[in-house]
Structure formats: structure tokens, C-alpha cells
Chain A
Amino acid sequence: MKVIIFEDQKYDNLYPLTYLRPVFELKCGHTNLRMKIQRLLGNASYYFFMREYLAPVFGKILGSDKVNQLAALKNDDLLLINGRLLAIDFKITTDGPEEAAFCDDQLVYARLKKSSIAKMNFTNLDEFLDGIQSLLPRKNINATLIDYPWNLIQNNGKAIIDDFNHLADKGIHGELSPQAAIVGDKNLVHLAPGAIVRPFVTLDTTNGPILLEKNVTIHPYSHIEGPHALGEKSQVFGGNIREGSAIGPVCRIRGEIEESIIHGYSNKHHDGFLGHAYLGEWVNLGAFTTNSDLKNDYTSVQLYVKGELVDSQDLKVGSFIGDHTKTSIGTLMTTGSIVGIMSNVIFAGSLISKFVPSFCWFINNHATKGFGYRHMVETAAKAMARRKVQLTPEDEAMLKTVFEMTKEERSFWIKKGFQS
């Protein structure tokens, strides 16, 4: 039996967060969607399908012989799982009858035998998925599939709690200062070996657990409310980290944060509010960058998805910021803003608009090309080198692909901003 975790065609609903990663590498809680599926199924032979331009980078992480291998679909029993599945409160086993399980007409998983596969003709994953849907008995189930970026935020708190509950060795293993206070149940704090909590820190577990990974440091005058998860080697330099945030690894954090997800190597190192927001990797928020996550008329927040405004049906939605993007000091982000990857947002005295394209310098609320693609890649390489990470040729090729993919959109917004 092989387990196949695949991206379906809805990956573009999740732009800009999925420009540089497959959907199943999106963080929700302390772990990403793939890790939750693997935790649910345990030891198995896993294979992964994703957009071709991502494969060289993620082949290095997941195993190049495990990524986009069409041969893996043949000569064995299979369990295929949609990579957008949030595998919390969900039951599935590798053993069981042949079936295709759907939620709201979207394939969640399919289980099929080698003998059935032998009858199929296919040349790619899409043809294979089409084939199994007509071949297998159909079953309707309840499942959580991540359809839009804000779904990750909506599920983050319970995902953190689930991650905490799956920890094997919970407890205070690191250094907890006697002058730090735990408010609520002490058993709901996990302080991994090497983690340090300095004096005058409060950890409040009243509403959920707090998971502090290896070698994190919580500096004085930090207040952290659970559910909360902080990844390895991250640091909190003070402020109010309110409930429902999952951050790290290797992040530097300060200020007020609520219900937000921050991927690794991103910094929000200064004061300012970040609420119901999602940051990719290598994002840097300048001092006093603040986002709105609630409209003053209490109506639901609309966001740009594939060039069209979509109603989130949610009153609290913040900003979604793609990998490698940086904001200047004092940047103010409007409710439900989408900011692409590799951009530079420069504050100009007013809220930035709801959409900022990828690979641009956003100046005076207009998109521009800045100093160009080469300069942006050099900046990314410099930022990564500061954390002793190399921008590889595979990373560069991936960036170049997305730069070309987003060219038309960028040109549209540049011209829109400068039409006389």
C-alpha cells in the first residue's frame, strides 16, 4: 500500500501562500497539513504530487524519488489523499474497501486496489483522478478541506490544541524562571528542552495549551495566551501574544498578535498589531506595521482571490502576506488585504490597498517594478544568508517561474496605478 498526498486544482485559491509551496505544506497549527495526514496514518510509504515547478525544491525536502512519480500510481494498492485536507477529528485507515470519498463534491480520499489500477489508462495525475472517480463507489463524508487562505486561520486554534494533544513528552523540560508565572493549568504548558522562559513572562493556559519548542526564548514582559505554538529557535521579545497563534521556527516576534500563523524565518520584531493574519516564510514586518482584522461596520470581509473579490463570510480576517515580502516602518494594512510574494511595501501615509501583486515595490499605494527582479532575488539571498540559509539554484528557478506567472497581473496593477 502506498499513500499519495496530492494537490488538486484548487491550489490557486490559496495564492499567494501557495506560489512557493504545495498546498499540503501550509502551516495550520504547529504542524502543516501534510504532517497531520502522516501523523494520522503513521508509518507508510508516502508519495507526493504537486505542480511541476515546485518539485525540484520540495523533492529535496520530501525525497526526489517520492515527488511526482507517476510510476508510484501503478503496481500497488493506493490510498490517495487530497493535500487540502485538515486531518483533525478525521478518521481514515489504509485498510478498507475501495471507495472515493467526497465532501461538497470535492475528492477527499480514494482507496483502490492494484487490480483496479491495472484496468486504467492515464498519463498524468489529473487523468488518474478522473479515472478513479468514475471507477470507484462514491461515498459522501464530512471533512475540512482548506478552500481559501482564511480557512487556515479559522482552524488554527483547534489545530494547535490537536498538535499539543499529540505531543509524546509533554512537560516543563526547559528553563522556566521562578519569576515567570503560569496562569491556569500548568499541565497545559510544554517547554521543550533548551527552551528558556525569562522573568516577568506570563503564560496563560486558561483558554488552551502553550507549546514552546526546543531552543525558543521568551524574553521579559511577554504575555502569551493559549492556544499557542512557537517553533524551534524562535524568540519573543515582549508584547501580548493573544490566543490562537502558531509561529516559527526561527522567528523573531514582538508586539500584539492574535489568531495568526507565521511561517519560519519571518520577523515581526517590533510593536504593531497583527490579527487573523498569515505570513509566509522570510517575511519581515517593519516597526509598527499593523493590520486591521475587523471592519468598523461589522460586515463580513471580502478578499481578492484570482482577481475577484470573494466574501469570506467572516467578520475577522486580517492580512495574507506571501514569502519574502517586507513592509516598511509604520505600514498600515486594510482589513482582508492580500500581499504577494517578494514585494516591498512602503508606507505612504494611508492604508495600503486590498491587493499588492508579487514582485513589486508598492510605493505611494501604487505597484511598481522597483529595482527589478534581479535586485529582489539578491535581497532575498542576503536575508537568507543572515540566517545561514542559502538561496539555491532550485529556489531561484522556482522564483523565476512565479515571476513569469505573475507578470501580467503585475503589469495590470502597475498601469492601473499610473494611468493619468
Chain B
Amino acid sequence: MTVAERVKNVVARQLKVKLEDIKPESDFVKDLGADSMASIELVAAFEAEFDIEMDEDAALSVKTVGKAGEFIQHIVDQQQ
């Protein structure tokens, strides 16, 4: 499974949305309903899924699912 696919799975599980409703351009807050608490949990879930450490400010500034995939791919490449 690619990083992008795993990101979508985590988003679906954490935000309780259907996989088919998650697009690369989906905005976590506007389209998927993530409030600040859900965003914090999403960051923790990504860290657990990919066994990585993310800077909180940088991670929480990512707005869309597609950008999250790119951001995480970059960290995975750096840390593994």
C-alpha cells in the first residue's frame, strides 16, 4: 500500500468518513470536519501508523489530504 493510500485509511478511521469521500484536495477542516482536537489526534494516528515523529506546528499547518501524504512521505524518507 502506498503512503497516500495509508494516509487515506487513517483519515477515514480517525474522522469517521467514507474512503470514497476522501480526495487529495479534501480540506481536513472544511471538507472532513476535523476540529482542533481531531487534528491533534490525526497527527498522533499518522505518527503511530508510520512510526515517525512530526513537528506539531508543521504537521498541524497541513491543510489537505494530498499535502499530508506528501508531508509524511518526506518525513518517512528522512527518518527511515
- Interface-forming stretch among A114-122, A239-247, A310-318, A367-375? A367-375
Shortest Cβ distance from B40 into A: residue: A368
Binary CB contact string for chain A from 186 to 218 against chain B (1 if under 8 A, 0 otherwise): 000000000000000000000000000000000
Binary CB contact string for chain B from 35 to 70 against chain A (1 if under 8 A, 0 otherwise): 001001101110111010101110010000000000
Across the A-B interface, the 5 shortest Cβ-Cβ residue pairs: A372-B56, A418-B48, A368-B44, A418-B45, A415-B48
> A125 interface residue, CB < 8 Å from B?
no
Task: Report how far A368 CA is from B49 CA in the complex, Å.
Answer: 14
Taking CB atoms, residues of chain A closer than 8 Å to B56 are 369-372, 375
- Interface-forming stretch among A21-29, A54-62, A221-229, A358-366? A358-366
Task: Report how far A367 CA is from B45 CA in the complex, Å.
Answer: 10
Task: Report how far A364 CA is from B55 CA in the complex, Å.
Answer: 22
With A371-B56, A372-B55, A420-B13 as known contacts, state yes or no: A363 contacts B48, CB within 8 Å: no
Q: Which of A371, A374, A418 contacts B44 (CB 8 A)?
A: A418
Task: Report how far A371 CA is from B60 CA in the complex, Å.
Answer: 8
Taking CB atoms, residues of chain B closer than 8 Å to A346 are 37
> A417 interface residue, CB < 8 Å from B?
yes
Can you sample 8 A-B contacts with CB below 8 Å? A364-B37, A366-B44, A368-B41, A368-B44, A370-B56, A372-B56, A372-B57, A418-B45
Known: A368-B40, A418-B45. 7 other contacts (CB 8 A): A366-B44, A369-B40, A370-B40, A371-B60, A375-B56, A414-B47, A414-B48
Taking CB atoms, residues of chain A closer than 8 Å to B53 are 411
With A369-B56, A371-B56, A372-B56 as known contacts, state yes or no: A415 contacts B47, CB within 8 Å: yes
Interface size class of B (residues with CB under 8 A): 10 to 19
A418:B40 contact, CB within 8 angstroms: no
A369:B41 contact, CB within 8 angstroms: no
- Report the minimum CB–CB distance from B67 to chain A (whole Å): 19
Residue of A374, A418, A419 with most partner-chain B CB within 10 A: A418
Task: Report how far A154 CA is from B44 CA in the complex, Å.
Answer: 38
Shortest Cβ distance from A373 into B: residue: B56
- Report the minimum CB–CB distance from A365 to chain B (whole Å): 11
- Report the minimum CB–CB distance from A376 to chain B (whole Å): 10
Shortest Cβ distance from B55 into A: residue: A372
Task: Report how far A374 CA is from B9 CA in the complex, Å.
Answer: 30
With A418-B49, A420-B13, A420-B49 as known contacts, state yes or no: A369 contacts B37, CB within 8 Å: no
- Report the minimum CB–CB distance from B77 to chain A (whole Å): 20
Task: Report how far A363 CA is from B39 CA in the complex, Å.
Answer: 11
Taking CB atoms, residues of chain B closer than 8 Å to A363 are 37, 40-41
Binary CB contact string for chain A from 82 to 105 against chain B (1 if under 8 A, 0 otherwise): 000000000000000000000000
Shortest Cβ distance from B14 into A: residue: A418
